[in-house]
Amino acid sequence: MERWSERIHAVAQRALVRGALEPIATDAIERCEHGFPFVLRWVSTLARKPPPASTQESKRHNPFLPPEPELTVGALGARHLVVLNKYPVFSGHTLIVTRDFEPQTAPLSGDDFLAWYALLAEGGLGFYNGGEIAGASQSHRHLQWIPDGHLGKEQLHAFLPPGETGWAELPWAAWREPLPLYAEGADWGAAAHRAYCTALAAMGWRPDASQLPPYDLLLQLDRLFFIPRRVERLAGVSVNALGYAGSLFASSPEKLRALAALDLVEGLCTLGWPRAELASGKR
């Protein structure tokens, strides 16, 4: 059976030839701060993107209803489609979108995690921006995945350290849940959804709520990190879940320099909470 990564690569090559896929070239600054390796990138296309759309606007002007045929890799179960990111910074950057409109701010389901498993089983990093304040640029539900090789092992180990359930030993508040590396398919999806619900409970949030406060998710096959958010921007730069994996994206050289002048570890704490504050039950 053809692997998803192979299908994604084949569709990307065709989309490149036809001009449907528009990769973004970036300039980057690497920094190591308090033991955390950051990569700051200037992504010029971000300056041309429209602001995040409201729910009603997304229903009228929604790039996922339907997605561009030349960017669509295929169906993933009854509820999701696999679609290429039209403007990828990382080659192979892929979205898992719901066929019908579902809000990005509603709780994730077991089906969402089962869909994620199909790509995570081949490696890489999954991430999710739960709402505009968490860095989401579209209100239609979209899970994201980037393949191995774009974020270094040292970077991932620093930002997503292995360990037991609870607030991870990081300066910012990030709830960590181990996932069953050797589980497959529906078993892994169910376990990941339980881990997600445990993280919600740590914040006092209900998994059956119609809408959740803003948060980011980072996950690999063996671990999930949940980061509650309060603020979207750092030095005028919108920060999504990848910021908590050490990757930040500015829309101009000036904003890149403004980011580089900050204490980024302190900045990530201000976008969410300092770990000590939530670990002590204060919020």
3-state DSSP helix/strand/coil percent for the chain, to nearest 5? 35, 25, 40
Query: Which phi and psi angles does 176 have, rounded to 5°?
Result: -110, 135
* pLDDT at residue 283 in the model: 63
- What residues form DSSP beta bridges with 226? 175, 217
pLDDT digits (tens, 9 = 90+) for 198-236: 999 999 999 999 999 999 999 999 999 999 999 999 999
Give, for 72, the enclosing helix (H) or strand (E). strand 72-76
* pLDDT at residue 3 in the model: 94
Spatial neighbors of 235 by CB under 8 A, at least 6 apart, are: 255, 258, 259, 261, 262, 267
Query: Which phi and psi angles does 251 have, rounded to 5°?
Result: -95, 0
Residues of the chain with pLDDT under 70: 1, 45-60, 282-283
C-alpha of 158 from chain center: 17
* pLDDT at residue 56 in the model: 46
- 3-state SS class at 160: coil
* pLDDT at residue 163 in the model: 96
Record the tokens describing residue 29, joined without a space: 């600054």
* Closest-CA residue to 175 (of 160, 156, 155, 158): 160
Going by their DSSP bridges, the two strands 223-228 and 215-220 should be labelled as antiparallel
Q: Which one-letter DSSP state was computed for residue 99?
A: S
